[in-house]
């Protein structure tokens, strides 16, 4: 079946850049997403990218997509303590109702 | 705009008991999803509704789980009888479009209902 994989943990210092990586297997993936989940809360969409793009920038967030390698990354510039959360990579195909999520990367930002 | 509402936030039951979770999606959202999120894992789709019809319930353990969205608005997810492995957070999400992949496909999530089965 199709899988979305992420590393489970990342720890950075406040002010550094964070890079969270994701790989997926479904070549028909059309939309790829990054969701953020803070403790005790639901998932909140951070950003998304269409599969015909290779980069998207939104303020401190940069998403890079390598469709050939099926690799997605999220870079957070100037990481703050408030960015500490679990970040989920997700993908869906146009003809597929199911949004598939990775297991999440727990980002810890140390002051 | 009010977000996706879920209740209860927390529920503790013993195995073989039953439990029900309720979800009220964002007003006007046609599509409603129930996801199961086991600790340390990403959310996994249980069932998807389009208005009051089921679009996908292929991953719903139908021997013990049931869900309905009778009037095409709010929804109830029931587990009967519960097993230890059902301990998880049950997330409800909604989206305005019919299919994930139309528009941006963004899902709007509630805060979840955390179930502990003892």
Summarised one tens digit per residue, pLDDT across range A13-51 is 999 999 999 999 887 778 899 999 998 888 999 999 988
Sheet holding B65-68, edge to edge: B5-7, B19-24, B75-79, B65-68
Per-residue pLDDT tens over the stretch B48-86: 998 889 988 999 999 999 999 988 899 999 999 999 999
What's phi and psi for A97, nearest 5 deg? -75, -20
**Strand partners for A84:** none
- Smallest CA–CA distance, residue B16 to chain A, in Å, is 26
Q: Give the pLDDT score at A31.
A: 87
Chain A residues touching residue B110 (CB < 8 angstroms)? 42
- Smallest CA–CA distance, residue A70 to chain B, in Å, is 18
Q: In whole numbers, what is the pLDDT of chain B averaged over residues?
A: 91
Name the residue among A88, A90, A97 with its Cβ closest to that of B55.
A97
Q: Give the pLDDT score at A42.
A: 87
- Is the predicted pLDDT of residue B96 greater than 60, yes or no? yes
- Smallest CA–CA distance, residue A16 to chain B, in Å, is 26
Distance CA A28, CA B3 (A): 31
Angle at A26 between CA A101 and CA A35, to 5 degrees: 25
Q: Give the pLDDT score at B22.
A: 98
- Smallest CA–CA distance, residue A40 to chain B, in Å, is 7
Q: Give the pLDDT score at B34.
A: 97
Q: Give the pLDDT score at A82.
A: 94
Name the residue among A43, A45, A92 with its Cβ closest to that of B101.
A92
What's phi and psi for B43, nearest 5 deg? -65, 140
Of all residues in chain A, the percent with pLDDT exceeding 90 is 73
Chain B positions contacting chain A at CB under 8 Å are 4, 40-45, 48, 55-56, 91, 93, 99-102, 104-112
Q: Residues B18-44, buried b or exposed e (16+ Cβ, 10 A)?
A: ebebebbbbeebebbbbbbbeeeebbe
Name the residue among B42, B107, B109 with its Cβ closest to that of A104.
B42
Size of interface A-B (CB pairs under 8 A): 69
Q: Give the pLDDT score at B40.
A: 87
**Residues A19, A75: contact at Cβ < 8 Å?**
yes
3-class secondary-structure state, position B86:
helix
Of all residues in chain B, the percent with pLDDT exceeding 90 is 75
Residue with the two structure tokens 């059309």: A30
């Amino acid at each position: 079946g199709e899988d979305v994989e992420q590393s489970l943990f990342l720890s950075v210092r406040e002010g550094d850049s964070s890079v969270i990586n994701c790989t997926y297997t479904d070549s028909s993936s059309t939309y790829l997403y990054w969701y953020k989940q803070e403790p005790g809360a639901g998932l909140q969409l951070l950003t998304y990218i269409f599969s015909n793009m290779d980069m998207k920038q939104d303020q401190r967030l940069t998403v890079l997509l390598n469709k050939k390698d099926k690799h997605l990354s999220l870079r957070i510039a100037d990481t703050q303590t408030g960015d500490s959360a679990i970040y989920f990579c997700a993908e869906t195909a146009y003809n597929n109702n199911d949004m598939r999520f990775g297991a999440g990367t727990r980002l810890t930002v140390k002051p | 705009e009010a977000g996706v509402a879920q209740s209860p936030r927390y529920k503790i039951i013993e195995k073989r008991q039953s439990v029900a979770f309720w979800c009220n999606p964002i007003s006007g959202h046609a599509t409603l999803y129930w996801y199961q999120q086991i600790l340390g894992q990403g959310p996994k789709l249980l069932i998807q509704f389009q208005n009051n019809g089921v679009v996908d319930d292929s991953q719903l353990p139908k021997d013990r789980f049931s869900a309905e969205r009778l009037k095409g608005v709010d929804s109830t997810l029931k587990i009967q009888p519960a097993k230890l492995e059902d301990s998880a957070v049950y997330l409800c999400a909604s989206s305005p479009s019919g299919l994930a992949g139309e528009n941006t496909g963004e899902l709007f999530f509630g805060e979840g209902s955390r179930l502990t089965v003892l």
